[in-house]
Amino acid sequence: MLYLLTHYWIWLAVAFAVGVVTPLLAQKLGWAADLENYWLQRIGVVLAIVVVVIVMQLVSGRPELMLEAAAGLVAAYIVGGIAGGIAPGLLPARFEGWWVGLFATGLIWLVFSITTMPKVEPDLRERVAEVVKSAGADPLNFDVSGRDVLLPDDLGAKRAVLSEQIGQVKGVRLVSEVEELSGAALAAKTVARLQAEVAAKAEADAKAKAEAEAREAVEKAAVAKAAKDTAAKQAAAKAKADAEAKEAAAKEAAAKEAAEIAAKEAAAKEAAAKEAAAKEAAAKEAAAKEAAAKSAAAEEAKPAAVAPPAAPAAAAATRTADAAGTASIPSVEACQSKLSTLVAAQKINFMRGSAEIAQASLPVLKQLAEVIAHCPAATIEVAGHTDAAGKKAANEALSKRRAEAVADNLTKAGIGSAKLTAVGYGASKPLAANDSADGRAKNRRIEFVVK
């Protein structure tokens, strides 16, 4: 009753108002009362209320809630009727028209049963579920009937504790123990259990799928890493092989070039030796001829007295012949031709990678100096050239140093330094392609340009 008073007092207030208004309307409208049966009717009402209270103690669940609501509304109506009857002086003698108000109170109870009473159980169910959940039990494993809470046997040892805690919830009249739930509570519990099983299975499936995808991703990553490592190793091996091949090719080319230079130097030395031997033989032969001529002339001069003048004539003839061998070259073109012929016949060679003139090339430089000494008064450009191997700046510097070395040698041989100009062209003016050893050998040269 206290629960109804605190939660649904508006309905009790309406019944109270009906009780207040009923005696006033009865007096005003002249509702007659059966005076002979008046006290009997009062006793009947009281007995009816007592019976309702007794029945309330015997029944439970929704019937008890309905009787409780009826008793509460009737009690509120009676209190209101007493309050309303005091004013017109109807009490304590009689209560006119009480049956009209009682009928109205019955209608109020009917409306209350239809509109408000169905909300009592959900309200209690929600608050009891919070208590059950806080105790660590299944919040669906109980039922509510009216203001009574039903707990099943499968709660075990928790049921006693829950009974005590649920009994303290406002609105709960009684906590009863049953063997098992039935009806809507059992259906809700079953549905919840099935939903939990479905959710657990879905979660397990999702977890298994995620683990499978994770394993697959790890395997793919491992395969990709292995492929990447293999590709990197293959690339490194290929790069190493290419580097070794290039190094071997470079060494082979260098060895071949060195062999060619050595062969050319040997050939130049051999040619120089042959030329020197030939010159020496020619000189010896000329000396022998001259000695023989002198001897013959001496023999012829012995019988004649005029022999002495013959010697000056022979000397003059000799000087004339020498002068003819060292006569000035008549033109720039002739000088250029002689120099080009000498350089083409006997190439000026240097030590590998330096400006040091090879010993085998010194004789040709001597011959070049003799020719330049008899060239017209003109400047001569000593032009140094290299092949395309190596860096451009290094080649230009090397060609310049080699040209300067040749110019210095000619200067030491008696050629004026003002007459010579040393220029280094590097690999800018090749005579042949640089893709072969022969072509590179032709491009490494010293040229003389008469200006």
The DSSP line for 338-352 is: HHHHHHHHS---B-T
pLDDT at residue 304 tops 50: no
pLDDT at residue 228 tops 50: yes
428: CB partners within 8 A, 6+ apart: 396
Indicate the DSSP class of residue 379. -
Average pLDDT of the chain is 76
- What integer pLDDT is reported at residue 362 of this predicted model? 93
CA 450 distance to own-chain centroid: 68
CB-based burial of residue 281 (10 Å sphere; 0-12 exposed, 13-18 middle, 19+ buried)? exposed
Helix (H) or strand (E) holding 170: none
pLDDT at residue 323 tops 70: no
Of 115-119, 186-190, 254-258, 370-374, which has the strongest mean pLDDT? 370-374
Strand partners, 371: none
174 vs 158: CA distance, rounded Å: 17
Instruction: Give the mean pLDDT of 319-329.
Output: 46
Q: Which of 340, 352, 363, 434 is nearest to 392 (CA)?
A: 434
CA 339 distance to own-chain centroid: 70
Q: Which residue has the higher pLDDT, 85 or 113?
A: 113
- What integer pLDDT is reported at residue 299 of this predicted model? 52
The answer to whether 153 and 179 have CB atoms below 8 angstroms apart is: yes
Q: Which of 96, 89, 84, 82 is nearest to 27 (CA)?
A: 96
CB-based burial of residue 299 (10 Å sphere; 0-12 exposed, 13-18 middle, 19+ buried)? exposed
pLDDT at residue 44 tops 70: no
197 vs 408: CA distance, rounded Å: 107
pLDDT at residue 302 tops 50: no
Instruction: Give the mean pLDDT of 164-169.
Output: 77
- What integer pLDDT is reported at residue 34 of this predicted model? 47
- What integer pLDDT is reported at residue 303 of this predicted model? 44
Q: Which residue has the higher pLDDT, 321 or 35?
A: 35
Instruction: Give the mean pLDDT of 293-301.
Output: 56
43 vs 55: CA distance, rounded Å: 18
The answer to whether 178 and 153 have CB atoms below 8 angstroms apart is: yes
H helix count then E strand count, the chain: 13, 6
328-450: CATH topology is 60s Ribosomal Protein L30; Chain: A; (3.30.1330)
For residue 146, the one-letter residue type is G
Q: Which residue has the higher pLDDT, 40 or 406?
A: 406
147: CB partners within 8 A, 6+ apart: 3, 64, 65, 68, 120, 124, 171, 172, 173, 174
385-422 residue pLDDT tens: 999 998 999 999 999 999 999 999 999 999 988 899 99
Paired tokens of 172: 């709960």
Q: What are the boundaries of each domain within the chain?
A: 2-115, 121-181, 208-285, 328-450
The answer to whether 174 and 149 have CB atoms below 8 angstroms apart is: yes
pLDDT band at 40 (very low <50, low <70, confident <90, very high): very low
Write the class of the CATH domain 121-181: alpha beta
